[in-house]
Chain A
Amino acid sequence: MIRLDSIERVFQVGNENVYALNNVSLKISQGEYITIMGPSGSGKSTLLNIIGLLDRPNKGFYILDDVNTTDLSDEQQALVRRHKIGFVFQFFHLVPRLTASENIELPLILAGMKPEKRKDRIKLALEDFRLADRAKHRPDQLSGGQRQRVAIARATIMEPQVVLADEPTGNLDRASGKEVIEILEKLNKKGIILILVTHDPDLGNRAVRKISMVDGKILDDTLALESSKYRLSDK
């Protein structure tokens, strides 16, 4: 469960204060599928970073699983990221000198899991994401779609509650993009909260809940239910 309460994030550009997020409140329940859309600079990436605990708001509360994360120290936030949040990036962010399976293994290594236990998990993940024959390949030997599948495997290896994807198909051709989205949606069906930031309206329309942002504010938050639309808020 995610609850954002009047979040503000201000960046100083020269002498001016720029509001990347301006009084944003949001509630997300377990297993939701949400897309965040909006023009460049509308604050959607900042919102994602705040939810992912990579960034701290200047004002407001962020409660994740009944824990007020704004009170947590840096190291505690790192622990929450490790166990509850998975990231998928537009540029994959694989470590170039590690093989596919080693990249997937990284979060387990950071968590200090024993090698024997890691092996089983990775084997399973490689099979789930159809990467078993690519396990020993380095990122530069993989196609874009395969790289993003490795990245998703890495994001989910710790069994997080939330997967945050920032333009996950932005660097992929249509076919691979579709495949990646289907994988993410499958994860969502298993109960993981999926939050997708995208420019692509086709992608945006696939989600049950659509949030559109402009100038650091939530413009529209709609729920598509059985072909009819309900407005969740009128902000």
Chain B
Amino acid sequence: MENLVALLIFLPFLLALFPALISNEKVRGLTVYIGGAIIAVCAVVTAFFWFADGGTMVFDLPGTEMIDHIILAGDFVLMFIIIWLSVKHHKTVISLLSIVQTALVVWAEKFGPKVSAGAHIRLDWLSFIMILIIGIIGVAIGVYAVGYMRGYQEHHRDVKDRRRFFFSMIFLFYGAMFGLVTSMNIIWLYFFWEITSVCSFLLIGYTGTKEAVDNSFRALWMNLLGGLAIAVAIVYAIYMEGTLNLYDIIENGKNMGVLVPVAMFAFAALTKSAQFPFSGWLLGAMVAPTPSSALLHSATMVKAGVYMLLRLSIAMNGNYVGQMVYIIGGFTFFAASLLAISQSDGKKVLAYSTISNLGLIAACAGVGFEETAWAAIFLIIFHAVSKSMLFQCVGAIENTTGSRDIEDMQGLAVRFPKLAFILMVGIAGMFLAPFGMLVSKWAALKAFVNAPSTLMVLFIVFGSSTTMFYWTKWFAKILGLHEKRGKDLTQMNEYISMYFHAALLILLCVSFPFLSKHVIEPLMVDMYGVSGAVITDGNIAIMVIMICAIFVVPCINYLLTKKVKDKPVIVYMGGANVGDNKNFIDSSGEEKELTVSNWYMTEWFGEKKIFRPSVAFGTLILVVFLCVIIGGAL
């Protein structure tokens, strides 16, 4: 097992070298496929062996001491990279953040009291789920990226071809994420955390345009702020608690009320999961090529944040840290879904919906009840699959039609049925009745009613109504009428990845009761000692019926209506059509093309109106609670 986990974490770092060194496109693609396959197999095998053994495992990797040294050196390497790049782009101030935190960590580790860290690695149900998500979804995105980036470079001739760099970053990301979800030593955790920050920074800046560079630095400083918080937590843990073990910190937080490190970790997690006031970086990350958005939004990066929150959730139950997290989370859920209404850029809608969903997960984790944790884990799984699929699909649509604006997706179901199918499955997965998101919303609502928290119940009911709005209008756009059928430029491997996701999503929905019983409930027992299935078996049965119904009923109706005789007719436009559905005669007697557009209600829900107040509100909550927590500890 030790060797397997070591392989899982460090192999991706090694594999990252290959795409970086190989300049031939075909060979590089092949190495990415093979490397991805190896990683996926590693992840699945690790998960399988762990599952077969069962129970939490705590152990050290072979050569731990050497790895300790490497990590120490690694911290410095990361710091120098940040310093070099920020000086190069005249953003020297940002490097200060990195210098301070690295200094803090190294100083505390080398000169602080010696503490025995105990084992470094821990595998439990939560890591098991995360490993599978990263190993499967993450790798599928890598496969998609090979084809996508080829098309991307053909379309964007002005962008320098840095695909070698791009793919090695993706592999680094896998390794860092595996390390992050398995480490129990906080120095290790901090190192992997920093790698994800730096990798995402480099990926966002891929195109090298001014906008990309600015956005990448915004992502960097926000994430470094989180890193700084972890550094503070490390110092606190070493000096005040005498431990380097994340689980000791959580235990102390839960039983003895030592909240400062917990609050610091929670703060870091909030930055990483792009909650208000830190949502800006995830929106800025949209400038990067689609695979990196998919990677940041679904399987990795933001999931690191919510993973951390879930870990902490037992220590957050019923205290100020928990309140801070769930108020910010609940608020983000509502505010981001409002903002999504006013967006017509497909990727931006996805970005806001990611932020919004992460808000719900954060809120669930923050309350720290077993029901909400149950909901949060489901959300993580479903969100990872459907969001990854949606990003890939929007990317493919952009490559094919040259636009990712929702208004240009009119009648996609007629023009590109395959892409539209994937898009619809993804959207359905995000909000439609019996799918994953809804289950989680349901559980969250029940849990918050029990909590009890009026504010959170209100956030959820309002947030779910606005969520419904922006997904429905997108969904409706795809199904509209359109006459011509274009040429689909989507590459084979993009389709492989997307179909794989679609199949996975449907499988997850159908196997939902099984999943709940055999994966999530043991996890609950693991974390809380009791299993908290919120939704009874009877209701689960009904939901499975509904899932089937949502696929089957339209199909049956299709068969039923296939035979029905109808006479085609043009749409009603007050009798002024010019013989088809697209043109009409206007008041001056001229022919005019009809355009039908969705509502965006910018004067109500626009970014100008809502974004800044939301950031201000988030900051206020954060500052007030941190003051209370830290003030209370002093």
Whether A and B are associated in the same complex: the answer reads no
